[in-house]
Amino acid sequence: MAFELKNTVPWGRNLDEYRRMFKLTDSDLNKRIISFGDGPASFNYEMTMLSKSVVSIDPIYQFSKNDLKIRIKETKDIVIEQTKNNLQNFVWTKIKNINELEQIRLSAMENFLQDFENGKKESRYINHEMPNKTDFDNLTFDLALSSHFLILYSQLGLEFHISSLTEMLRVAKEIRIFPILNLDAKKSELPDNLIRHFEKDFIVTIEKVDYEFQKDGNEMLTIKRN
């Protein structure tokens, strides 16, 4: 089935959030990083400003800046309304209220939009749909990330996840996935099934992180080579 922009909900986070979600140390920031399902996050833009190396992967990068801008505008009110209707599912300590949430997300997505065309020319934003194999050679990257895509979209199923994580582990030495809850803020069977599958050949851990917006969403899954 063709990937359609009207079925996506573009919503992007920033570098400070990525640092906390993935426990990124100063030394991690100097690694060659690939980020899957990176969407309209400002992680790539902000890292590039710091002369760091990030490649972002997402099928929404096939669309034009203007199409993405329109889709972000269309979905912003819906996401804000949904969050307002489920305030109790979120932790309002670091982000204090809905207005601050809206401002942080819009600012990240504006930075992404400004960077998008340039980043595409520099092959920092690559149109690619998982779980398909990417064009990268084995171990091109030190670290592969997935924020609010894999595991969160548990409806994509176990096979989709096994194939996607296998591809991530082919191109990177280590992968980190945050959060390990699904869209209903519940822990599905998926993380346990993935752990069972990958722990035969890799070192698999679940770590607490200093980021919690979705209630109880403060853990990341890491998979490393033995």
Ligand X SMILES: C[S@@+](CC[C@H](N)C(=O)[O-])C[C@H]1O[C@@H](n2cnc3c(N)ncnc32)[C@H](O)[C@@H]1O
Q: Return residues touching ligand X (CB under 6 A).
A: 8, 10-13, 36-39, 41, 58-60, 129-130, 147-149
Q: Which of 45, 9, 12, 37 is nearest to 117 (CA)?
A: 45
Q: Identify which of residues 112 and 202 has a Cβ nearer to ligand X in the complex.
A: 112
To the nearest whole angstrom, how small is the minimum distance from the Cβ of residue 32 to ligand X?
18
Sheet with 219-225, edge to edge strand ranges? 125-126, 53-57, 32-36, 141-147, 172-178, 219-225, 202-208
Beta bridge partners of 178: 147
Q: Identify which of residues 77 and 199 has a Cβ nearer to ligand X in the complex.
A: 77
To the nearest whole angstrom, how small is the minimum distance from the Cβ of residue 226 to ligand X?
27
Q: Identify which of residues 85 and 201 has a Cβ nearer to ligand X in the complex.
A: 85
Q: Identify which of residues 30 and 155 has a Cβ nearer to ligand X in the complex.
A: 155
To the nearest whole angstrom, how small is the minimum distance from the Cβ of residue 134 to ligand X?
10
CA-CA-CA-CA torsion for 59, 60, 63, 65, nearest 10 degrees?
Answer: -140
Task: Name the residue number minimizing CB distance to ligand X.
Answer: 39
**Residues near 9 by Cβ (< 8 Å), separated by ≥ 6?**
75, 78, 79
To the nearest whole angstrom, how small is the minimum distance from the Cβ of residue 7 to ligand X?
9
To the nearest whole angstrom, how small is the minimum distance from the Cβ of residue 115 to ligand X?
14
Q: Identify which of residues 159 and 226 has a Cβ nearer to ligand X in the complex.
A: 159
Q: Cα–Cα distance between 109 and 42 in angstroms, integer?
A: 6
DSSP SS3 for 200: coil
**Residues near 42 by Cβ (< 8 Å), separated by ≥ 6?**
12, 13, 14, 15, 107, 108, 109, 111, 112, 115
